[in-house]
Structure 1
Amino acid sequence: MWGFAVPVPVAFTELAGLSRQERLEQLRRRMAAVPARGESVTEHVPLGEEHDSRGVLDVPPALADLLPRRGLSRGSVVTLSGADSLLLGLLASTTGAGAHAVVIGRPRLGLLAAAEMGAQLGRIAVIPDPGPDPVEVAAVLLDGMDVVVLSLGGNSVNPSRARAVIARARSKGSILIVADGHWSGAELRLDARVIGYDGLGRGTGRVRSMRLVVQAQGRAFGPATARLDLQSVDGRIEWVPEVGAEPAERPGNTAAIPALPAAVSL
Structure 2
Amino acid sequence: MTASSVDLSGLERAERVTELRRRLAAMPGGGAPAAARAQVPTGAAPVVSVPADPADPAEPTGPEGPEAGAAPDVVAPGAAVSGVAVPRSVASLLPGGVLQAGRVTAVAGSATLRVGLLAAATASGARCAVVGWPELGVAAVAEQGGRLDCLALVPDAGPDPAAVVSVLLDGLDLVLLGPGVPAVAPSRARVLAGRVRTAGAVLLVGPGWPGAELTLAGRHCRYGGLGTGAGRLASVSTVVRCSGRAAPPRTAEWVAAG
SS of residue in 2 equivalent to 1:208: strand
1:15 aligns with 2:8: yes
Provide the rounded CA distance (Å) in 2 between the counterparts of 1:222 and 1:176. Answer: 20
Output the amino acid matched with 2:156: D
TM-score of the two chains, using structure 2 as the length reference: 0.77
1:155 aligns with 2:182: yes
SS of residue in 2 equivalent to 1:155: coil
Provide the rounded CA distance (Å) in 1 between the counterparts of 2:177 and 2:134. Answer: 12
1:192 aligns with 2:218: yes
Which residue of structure 2 lines up, in the alignment, with residue 94 of structure 1? 121
Which residue of structure 2 lines up, in the alignment, with residue 72 of structure 1? 99
Indicate which of 133, 139, 156 corresponds to 1:129: 156
Indicate which of 195, 201, 217 corresponds to 1:174: 201
Which residue of structure 2 lines up, in the alignment, with residue 26 of structure 1? 19
- Per the TM alignment, residue 151 of structure 1 is displaced from its structure 2 partner at its CA by 2.0
1:57 aligns with 2:84: yes
Ranges in structure 1 where 5+ consecutive residues have no aligned partner: 1-6, 233-266
- Quickly say closer, same or farther: Cα 1:153–1:40, change in 2 above 3 A: closer
SS of residue in 2 equivalent to 1:17: coil
Q: Is the 8 A contact 1:42 1:97 kept in 2?
A: no
Which residue of structure 2 lines up, in the alignment, with residue 228 of structure 1? 254
- Per the TM alignment, residue 144 of structure 1 is displaced from its structure 2 partner at its CA by 0.3
Provide the rounded CA distance (Å) in 2 between the counterparts of 1:223 and 1:40. Answer: 26
Which residue of structure 2 lines up, in the alignment, with residue 209 of structure 1? 235
Moved more, 150-159 or 217-226: 150-159
- Per the TM alignment, residue 204 of structure 1 is displaced from its structure 2 partner at its CA by 4.6
- Quickly say closer, same or farther: Cα 1:182–1:42, change in 2 above 3 A: same
Provide the rounded CA distance (Å) in 2 between the counterparts of 1:102 and 1:230. Answer: 21
Name whichever structure is richer in helix by fraction: 2
Q: Is the 8 A contact 1:215 1:225 kept in 2?
A: yes
Alignment of 1:216-255 (within 5 A): 216-231=242-257
Q: Is the 8 A contact 2:133 2:179 kept in 1?
A: no
Provide the rounded CA distance (Å) in 2 between the counterparts of 1:31 and 1:189. Answer: 28
Which residue of structure 1 lines up, in the alignment, with residue 55 of structure 2? none
SS of residue in 2 equivalent to 1:27: helix
SS of residue in 2 equivalent to 1:18: coil
Provide the rounded CA distance (Å) in 2 between the counterparts of 1:103 and 1:173. Answer: 17
SS of residue in 2 equivalent to 1:102: strand
SS of residue in 1 equivalent to 2:171: coil
**1:190-236 deviations in Å (ceiling 9; x for gaps):** 0001123233334653212222111001212221111233246xxxx
- Per the TM alignment, residue 132 of structure 1 is displaced from its structure 2 partner at its CA by 1.0
Matched residue count: 220
TM-score of the two chains, using structure 1 as the length reference: 0.75
Provide the rounded CA distance (Å) in 1 between the counterparts of 2:191 and 2:77. Answer: 29
Moved more, 155-164 or 17-26: 17-26
Ranges in structure 2 where 5+ consecutive residues have no aligned partner: 46-75
Q: Is the 8 A contact 1:102 1:125 kept in 2?
A: yes
Which residue of structure 2 lines up, in the alignment, with residue 104 of structure 1? 131
Q: Is the 8 A contact 1:107 1:128 kept in 2?
A: yes
Which residue of structure 2 lines up, in the alignment, with residue 244 of structure 1? none
SS of residue in 2 equivalent to 1:26: helix
Name whichever structure is richer in strand by fraction: 2
Which structure is higher in RCO with an 8 Å CA cutoff and minimum separation 6?
2
- Per the TM alignment, residue 39 of structure 1 is displaced from its structure 2 partner at its CA by 4.7
Provide the rounded CA distance (Å) in 2 between the counterparts of 1:147 and 1:108. Answer: 19
Which residue of structure 1 lines up, in the alignment, with residue 56 of structure 2? none
- Per the TM alignment, residue 133 of structure 1 is displaced from its structure 2 partner at its CA by 1.1
